Amino acid sequence: MLMVWLLVLFAIILAGFFAVTMLRRYIRSDDSDIGGETFTLGDLRSMLQRGQITQEEYDRLREQIISTVRKPTEKPDKPPESLRPTDPPQV
């Protein structure tokens, strides 16, 4: 009877491992076809050197890439009202 439960436990662990592996593969899958073509700065530089894009196009696309990277990391100029320190009460 113990052997049966060990086999059941082993089957559950194996199924869990398989499920986690498939989930990780799905999460890490290439999503580049969802949003169209994406370029790195190196790709743009290569295209510029090969003459596939002009300097103006390179500059414009470079700024677009940089701005999308900066957006999540930019800090606001001033904190929200709820986080600003208040002056101590004057006595």
Please report whether residue 53 resides in a domain. Answer: yes
pLDDT at 73: 58
For 57-88, write each residue's pLDDT tens digit. Answer: 999 999 988 888 776 655 656 655 655 556 66
Identify residue 25 by its one-letter amino acid code. R
Q: Which residue has the higher pLDDT, 12 or 43?
A: 12
Please report whether residue 26 resides in a domain. Answer: no
Please report whether residue 89 resides in a domain. Answer: no
Reported pTM: 0.40
Please report whether residue 43 resides in a domain. Answer: yes
pLDDT at 32: 47
Please report whether residue 84 resides in a domain. Answer: no
For the chain, what is the domain count?
A: 1
Q: What is the mean pLDDT of the chain?
A: 80
Please report whether residue 60 resides in a domain. Answer: yes
Please report whether residue 25 resides in a domain. Answer: no
Q: Give the range of the structural domain holding residue 49, as residue numbers without chain letter.
A: 37-73
Please report whether residue 68 resides in a domain. Answer: yes
